Amino acid sequence: MLFGVVLSFVVAFAAVAAFTQTEWGRSRIIAFTVRAIGGRLSGVLSIGHVEGNLLSGARVHDVALRGYDGVPLARLDSAYIQYRVVSFLGGDIVINRLVVWNAAIDVTRMPEDSLWNYEEILTDPNPDPNGRPIGILIERLILNNSLVTIQSPVSGDSRRSPEGQRAEVAAMIADSAHLFIHEVPGGFTRSMFLDIDSLSTAEVFIGGSERGGIYLEARDAHAAFRNSGDPPLEVRAARGQLHVLDGLISVELPSFTLAGGSDGSMVGTIDMNASRPMYDLSIDADRFALSDLRWLFPWFPAEPEEASGSGHFILRDEEDKQYFLARDFVLEMPESRVTGEFGLVMGVDSIGFTDVNLDADPLKVEDVKRLLPEGLPVTGLEIGSAMIE
């Protein structure tokens, strides 16, 4: 009896292996996969062709996932995939290993939309009334040479008056090439780009709000983030967790290293639900180079050795102001060394320093002035006996 069961299993295994090695068999795999996964999504999945087999893993080519409107969420040249076939039939879709080359992932929300495109596509068109919404679990994901584009509606800073918000949007549109702004039906959108050289994750879960949103645990990352035409934020290495739920991004990075040599750790949240991103971040920088912040402050020095240091920093947004606190602060420049602590209050049209306790030895006032933005009044910055205005 036992021998018969074992023999039957071996014969079945061999038959499936042989089936998946033929071109006809692989075409059936494509049809099955598209039908099984695509039928559980509110979108259209297409696969060009498959190499390999169902048992040991397959390499798929020319893959695309689009919404019913034809707009792509993801396109990729090729990917190596191992998956649990039974998960295609019910429950969460489980992919054991996914290695992707040359992917283009477009995460979008248009001005008149309430959902992001990935939330719409992940909606099961035939949900089980007694079940839970589906999710996709990727136990190991590796991305190579891929681009993620995030496109969201343009709106004015809520700290401004309605007239000021309209003027701000008009100014952004006038600078559309620099800020990656495009006119779309219903208004305008702004794009941000994450250019991924390599990303290795231990786990990725993608689901709707009912399933906790998106969770990603990164083992290592090498990428560049760009939100304008200015120099990008270049990440040379990073590990940690990222969680996205209902527009709130929670991040915990035990370690990161940037292109200019900045390294440290970070924890906090970014709320994307307001008219502007609302930050609540705590950063411990064992070393920082101001050149790594030129993606935010393009007037900062371009070379890491021109201004670097260390410290503990807190960045916190409120509806009408942004607060920046520096503790155990050390800033070294060729002819200046500044230490201590300070607070910074940034309004729409002004910058004010508070709780300043800074010393310098030596100090070249012009060095510090070069770090301040032009065109905005600055108050309250005193270093030693020198008042910086």
Q: What is the model's pLDDT at position 128?
A: 67
User: Residue 12: its pLDDT value, please?
Assistant: 40
Give the Cα separation of 326 and 331 in Å (integer): 11
- Is there a domain that residue 174 lies in? yes
Other Cβ atoms closer than 10 A to 135:
20
Quote the pLDDT of residue 6: 41
Boundary residue ending a domain (197, 229, 261): 229
User: Is 353 part of a structural domain of the chain?
Assistant: yes
- Answer yes or no: do 218 and 260 share one domain: no
Q: Are 173 and 182 in contact (CB under 8 A)?
A: no
Residues 161 and 281 grouped into a single domain? no
- Any domain includes 122: yes
Confidence of residue 175 (pLDDT cuts 50, 70, 90): low
Q: Which residue, 229, 259, 280, sits at the end of a domain?
A: 229
- Whether 374 has a pLDDT exceeding 90, the answer reads no
Give the C-alpha separation, 299 to 370, whole Å. 8
- In this predicted structure, the answer to whether residue 344 has a pLDDT above a threshold of 50 is yes
Lowest mean pLDDT among 85-99, 196-210, 238-252, 265-279: 85-99
**Pair (94, 225) in one structural domain:** yes
Give the model's confidence band at 188: pLDDT under 50 very low, under 70 low, under 90 confident, else very high.
confident
Residue 160 CA to residue 259 CA, distance in Å, equals 35
Instruction: Kindly state whether residue 325 falls inside one of the protein's structural domains.
Output: yes
| Of the listed ranges 24-28, 62-66, 268-272, 379-383, the one predicted with least confidence | 24-28
My answer on whether 84 and 136 are in the same domain is: yes
Which of 172, 204, 229 is the last residue before a domain boundary?
Answer: 229
Place of tokens 């949900």: 127
Q: Which residue has the higher pLDDT, 352 or 229?
A: 352
d(CA 273, CA 277): 7
Distance from C-alpha of 296 to C-alpha of 158, rounded to nearest angstrom: 19
For 387, phi then psi, to 5°, come to -95, 125
Residue 145 tokens read as: 């040479």
What does the DSSP assignment read for 18-72? HHHHSHHHHHHHHHHHHHHHHTTSSEEEEEEEEEEETTTEEEEEEEEEEETTS-E
Neighbours of 138 (CB within 10 A): 20
Q: Are residues 258 and 150 in the same domain?
A: no
Residue 39 has pLDDT above 50, yes or no: yes
**Are both 50 and 149 inside the same structural domain?**
yes
In a domain, 17, yes or no: no
In 3D space, the residue among 104, 73, 74, 83 whose CA is nearest the CA of residue 33 turns out to be 83
Structure tokens at 11: 């014969």
Domain check: are 33 and 174 in the same one? Answer: yes
85 has pLDDT over 90: no
> Do the beta carbons of residue 52 and residue 58 sit within 8 Å?
yes
Closest to 26 in 3D by CA, of 1, 61, 62, 54: 54
Q: Could you give the number of structural domains in the chain?
A: 2
Q: How far is CA 273 from CA 78, 149, 180, 204, 212, in A?
A: 34, 18, 20, 23, 17
142 occurs within a structural domain: yes
d(C-alpha 12, C-alpha 3), whole Å: 14
Q: Which one has a higher pLDDT value, 133 or 256? A: 256
> 188 and 136, same structural domain?
yes
Identify the domain containing residue 310 by its residue range: 240-389
pLDDT tens digits, residue range 345-359? Answer: 877 677 788 888 888
Cis peptide before 373 (omega within 30 of 0): no
State whether 153 and 73 are in the same domain.
yes
Q: Same structural domain for residues 138 and 49?
A: yes
278 and 174 in a common domain: no
The reply to whether 387 and 252 lie within a common domain is yes
pTM of the predicted structure, to 2 decimals: 0.78
